[in-house]
Amino acid sequence: MRAHRILIPALFLLAACSNPSSQSSAQPLAGDGGALSNAPLAEPGRRIPADAATMRLSFAPVVRKAAPAVVNVFSRSVVRQQVDPFWQMFGAGVPRERVAQSLGSGVIVRADGVIVTNNHVIAGGQEIRVVLGDRREFPAKVLLADAHADIAVLKIDAGRDPLPVLALNDRDDAQVGDLVLAIGDPFGVGQTVTNGIVSALARTGVGVGDDSYFIQTDAAINPGNSGGAMVDMNGDMIGMNTAILSPSGTSSGIGFAIPAALVKRVVEQALGGHTGVAAGRPWLGVKTQDVTAEIARSMDLDRPQGVLVTDLYPAGPAERAGLKQGDLLTAIDGQPVNDEATLDYRVATCQPGDEVALEIKRGKETARTIRVHVEPPPGGGQVTELAISGRNPLDGASVIDFSPAAAEQLGIDPFMAIHGVLITRLNDGLAARFGLRPGDLIRAINGQTVSSVKGLQALLTDGHTWRVTIERGGVEHSADLRL
């Protein structure tokens, strides 16, 4: 089954479970399986509808509060389109240009015009515009685009008058069964509101984004809703609707929203001075593996739980704090960790420099807590890319010094090397003809280890044959390349 991304703001509604006029618990951004009992079902802030009159209560107060802060986001780009090669033989092969458009939703999170949406809504866009609920339209600039989290932060200048704002509730207190509203612009028909319930929490492994950790809802989400808000009964945003799981491409009752905690972290990162692309993502320097039923039996666990530490980056935060290969990591800051995606999400909601408490079990020892300060991955900041040209086998390749920061930006394993040179892209040249690819790590030239771009340049002297060793997909390959 294929996952389709879409736009949709959604509001958590408690069909008469909580009072729509109650005070918000969030603040706008500034610059178990126990035994059955006779305990009452009702909880503070949540009530079961008691009669037909209660069932007829309206979500209108929540919509009036939230809807003005939900906007439409349009992205336009000019795409050069090649004509059929057959006609190129007759001189009719001039590339044609067409305008590609993307339609989504967004949410105003600061009164001065800061807006969040999905990265896939604006990715590749040469012109981005935002249409407010009052039909005013403004150009938008990208403050930060985080492809891993699929979150983009935009800024518009709407003048001196403050814009309506939707507060971010990042407490992660939603529960399965809470009612929700979805506000967005599906199919471009205009702002639309749908309702449903939270049908699952902490959904991972759905094939959408790298920081894959979602609130699941059955509220109708369709193409055009991506980037909208999921809102609770107080009218606060608890998630950004991002994707659906559907064989038809339209809503089939399984939609996914990025939790507001991660949205807030990316907004704070953007407002902290980072521009263009994500920078300074928090990092533990630890590589892990999910615990399967077979692994759990081999470790004498009563059930699969936690993640196994399989590798540690030398002198990284986790290694300095005392973690070791083979440790079983079961929780972070008191929150259970049952797979890699959950650990990645919990770390991603931190700011670099934050201290987190990791609960681990080592062999037969009693469980312990290790405190670690998360840091940006090594090699962040300004990365210098070198385009190689001339009479050598890497002609046409662009390369950078390998680092965990560069690897994460490119979506490759940051543990594949400590040092080396990474191919980032290829233009027409010898490197492409020899079969080299972006993501290849250049290990050696003529038997001499390559540890930096500067060292690589020194090895690419004039000649006729070069023995090039690369690493691709964790496997080393060597070949004699002749000109």
Q: CA-CA distance, 13 to 27, in Å (whole number)? A: 19
Please state which of the ranges 2-11, 314-323, 360-369 shows the lowest mean pLDDT: 2-11
Q: Give strand ranges (E) for 342-411.
A: 355-361, 368-373, 386-387, 397-401
The pTM assigned to this predicted structure is 0.74
Across the range 298-316, mean pLDDT stands at 92
pLDDT of amino acid 22: 45
- Sorted by sequence, the CB contacts under 8 Å of residue 66 that are 6+ apart come out as 9, 11, 166, 181, 183, 229, 231, 235, 237
> Quick one: pLDDT at residue 13?
29
The helix or strand, by DSSP H or E, that contains position 405, with its residue range, turns out to be helix 404-410
The predicted pLDDT at position 103 comes to 83
Enter the tokens of residue 253.
């009752």
pLDDT band of residue 133 (cuts 50, 70, 90) is confident
The verdict on domain 386-482 having CATH code 3.30.200.20 is no
Q: What positions carry a catalytic annotation?
A: 120, 150, 226
Whether residue 20 is predicted with pLDDT greater than 70 in this model: the reply is no
Asked if residue 11 has pLDDT above 50, the reply is: no
CATH topology for 1-22+54-279?
Answer: Thrombin, subunit H (2.40.10)
Mean pLDDT of 32-53: 58
Read off the pLDDT of residues 403-428 as tens digits, 9 standing for 90 and up.
888 887 777 788 877 778 999 889 88
Which range has highest mean pLDDT (114-128, 192-206, 454-468)?
Answer: 114-128
What CA–CA distance (Å, rounded) separates 92 from 185?
A: 40
Average pLDDT over residues 268-291: 78
Strand partners, 4: 244
Quick one: pLDDT band at residue 38, thresholds 50, 70, 90? Answer: very low
Task: Find the mean pLDDT for residues 141-160.
Answer: 91
- Answer yes or no: are the C-beta atoms of 466 and 436 closer than 8 Å: no
At residue 240, the 3 state secondary structure works out as strand
Domain ranges of the chain: 1-22+54-279, 286-373, 386-482
Q: Two tokens at 459?
A: 């090895």
| Higher-pLDDT residue of 233, 138 | 138
pLDDT at residue 91 greater than cutoff 60: no
CATH of 286-373, one of 2.30.42.10, 1.20.1070.10, 3.40.50.800, 3.30.70.1400: 2.30.42.10
Contact 449, 435 (CB under 8 A): no
Whole-number Å distance between alpha carbons of 319 and 311: 9
* pLDDT beyond 80 at 100: no
Mean of pLDDT over the chain: 81
Averaged pLDDT, 66-95: 68
Q: Do domains 286-373 and 386-482 have the same CATH topology?
A: yes
pLDDT above 90 (res 156): yes
Range 223-235 average pLDDT: 87
